Amino acid sequence: MARRLLTLALVAVLVIAAVLLVDNPTLEEPQQQAPQQNTPGAIITAATTRQYDANGQLQYVLQVDRAEQYFRFNQQDKPLATSRGYTDLSSPRLVLHSDSNPQPWHFSADHGRTENNGNLITLWGNVVAEQALAGGGQYRIETSRLRVEPLLQQATSQQPVTIRSPQGLGNSTGMSIDMPQQTVTLNSQVKATYEAK
Amino acid sequence: LPEDRDQPIEINADRAVRNEKTGVTEFVGNALLSQGSLSIAADTITINYNDNGIRDILAVGTPAVLHQIPNPEQSQVTAKANRIEYSVGDEVINLKERASIDQDGSVITSDLIRYDINQSMAEASGDNRVNIIIPPSNARTTNPPTSESDNSDAIPNDPK
């Protein structure tokens, strides 16, 4: 009986995240300090989540090979609300759409974790972020860890970053993507090489 | 050098912001650009590119400084200005605001200097007077006498 309840809870998290997103758009830092469950509450394999905004516009599509949902517990060992838990993802592939640019951003990684009702998706291990460019070609960012906030349409990394574009190659330490502004900011130690035409 | 244009352009800076909407990348903080013998040091360097690559480069500093060896037979040119606009395709550099070009001690200063890399030709203009300093040829070619040299009328060291 308890297991069926837990499975229903996972479906609630993955499928109805949109409703909760609209009602509760504020971002909360991931609850690291609460004790964590070591066995998943529920497991889903080969899952696709499509997230729409209030106007029915597709915000993002998240595909995973496997999702393991974990609860967090309070000091009395009682499970906290599902929004306080997290879901670990294997081979996550995220397509994030933005109304300011017809070209979406494609993210992929070996591992990921969603928290805060899907407001925060952390990716790590061979993280790649790509966007097709209006003038043709691809803008490709590679790093080891990336924090994606789908609601804000932003992504940030504090790690070394490699950028490849039709114009050339770039490196920096730390970067951020701002989709509404259509900017990519390289935070420090920037080095770029443009090939002569 | 003539082959500079075939070299990759390398830029180092503290930060950079790329704007997909405008096709502009701005390098901010200790920005240093190099392409063969050409180098530009500035506070910010902005790259405008189009489908063919880099269209033009704007360097802003106090001042921004450009060095280049026009060709193997000539010595290095040093150009300074608050704004250096390098049109990559035309190979023309516009120096604006407190502009100066120095080569072999010959110095041109003006509000605006247009420098044609291919022709190694500078054209100065502006509201304020253009000023050109061309050192006498002997001063330019021979090395100035050093204190140990045979300069007989030098004041001998005080024997005390």
Tell me the residues of chain B between 118 and 157 that have a Cβ less than 8 Å away from chain A: none
Phi first, then psi, for residue B30 (nearest 5°) are: 45, 50
Sign of CA dihedral A167, A168, A172, A175: positive
Verify whether the Cβ–Cβ distance A186 to B9 is below 8 Å.
no
Give the count of alpha carbons within 13 A of A148, CB side only. 30
Is it the case that residue A15 has pLDDT exceeding 80? no
Tokens of B124: 């100065």
Helix boundaries (H) for A71-150: none
pTM of the model: 0.77
The fold for domain A36-150 equals lipopolysaccharide transport protein A fold (2.60.450)
| Average pLDDT of the residues in B82-91 | 90
Residue boundaries of the structural domains of chain A: 36-150
- Per residue in B50-86, pLDDT (tens digit) is 777 788 999 999 999 999 988 888 888 899 999 999 9
State the pLDDT at residue B122: 82
Give the C-alpha separation, B75 to A47, whole Å: 66
CA angle B85, B86, B90 (to 5 degrees): 130
Instruction: Encode pLDDT of B28-48 as tens digits.
Output: 999 999 999 999 999 999 999
Count Cα atoms within 13 angstroms, Cβ side, for B117: 26
Q: In B71-155, which ranges are continuous DSSP H helix? A: 137-141
Q: Which of B13, B50, B54 sits opposite A194 (nearest CB)?
A: B54
Of B14, B21, B51, the CB nearest to A190: B14
* Alpha-carbon gap, residue A195 to A10, rounded angstroms: 49
Torsion angle of the four alpha carbons A123, A136, A168, B117, in this order, in degrees rounded to the nearest 10: -150
Asked if A196 lies within 8 A of B50 by C-beta distance, the reply is: no
ipTM: 0.75
